[in-house]
């Protein structure tokens, strides 16, 4: 278990201090789990694994071009981000809120398929909103920034 936790943390690109900050678990406890001096409960392992997930804005930064290409494959363009990831306040519990413009022939099923494919690409939950039905002064439109 100790080797697995260390490997997962390193694969996530996190230091013990960063994992401690994200998970709320003291860094000395993480060190003890990784060295095998302490055995974490299943709940603690789940908590640490959750904290190792990328933040939505990090996933977007890493896969920005691929996300835009994916959107185009589904007849979507003008990809923007809003919500906590757009504001830089996202956490490991946050999703990535995406605003898109859809082509006239794109329906709800296609948008749902894109949302699923985007989640697979990014490794974080994704919510997709289309801009077609939003009034010009809608808060989402005002806060969305280019992805």
What is the tens place of the pLDDT at every residue in 8-47?
999 989 999 999 999 999 999 999 999 999 999 999 999 9
Q: Collect contacts of 130-138 with beta carbons under 8 A, ≥24 apart.
A: 130/99, 130/100, 130/101, 130/102, 131/78, 131/99, 131/100, 131/101, 132/101, 132/102
Cα dihedral 57/59/64/68 (nearest 10): -100
CA angle 54, 46, 34 (to 5 degrees): 85
Taking the chain (147 residues) in runs of 10, the rounded mean pLDDT of each run is 91 94 96 96 95 93 97 98 94 94 96 98 96 92 92
**This model's pTM is above 0.85:** no
Record the tokens describing residue 68, joined without a space: 């835009």
The CB-side HSE value for 63 (13 A sphere, CA atoms) comes to 21
């Amino acid at each position: 278990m100790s080797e697995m936790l260390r490997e997962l943390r390193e694969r996530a690109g996190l230091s013990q201090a960063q994992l401690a900050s994200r998970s709320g678990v003291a860094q000395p406890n993480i060190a003890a789990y990784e060295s095998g001096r302490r055995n974490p409960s299943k709940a603690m392992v789940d908590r640490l694994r959750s904290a190792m997930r990328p933040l939505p804005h990090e996933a977007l930064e890493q896969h920005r071009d691929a996300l835009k290409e994916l959107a185009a494959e589904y007849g979507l363009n003008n990809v923007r981000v809003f919500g906590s990831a757009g504001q830089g306040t996202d956490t490991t519990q946050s999703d990535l809120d995406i605003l898109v413009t859809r082509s006239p022939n794109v329906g709800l099923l296609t948008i749902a398929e894109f949302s699923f494919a985007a989640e697979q690409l990014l490794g974080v939950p994704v919510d997709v909103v289309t801009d077609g039905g939003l009034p010009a002064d809608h808060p989402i439109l005002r806060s969305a920034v280019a992805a």
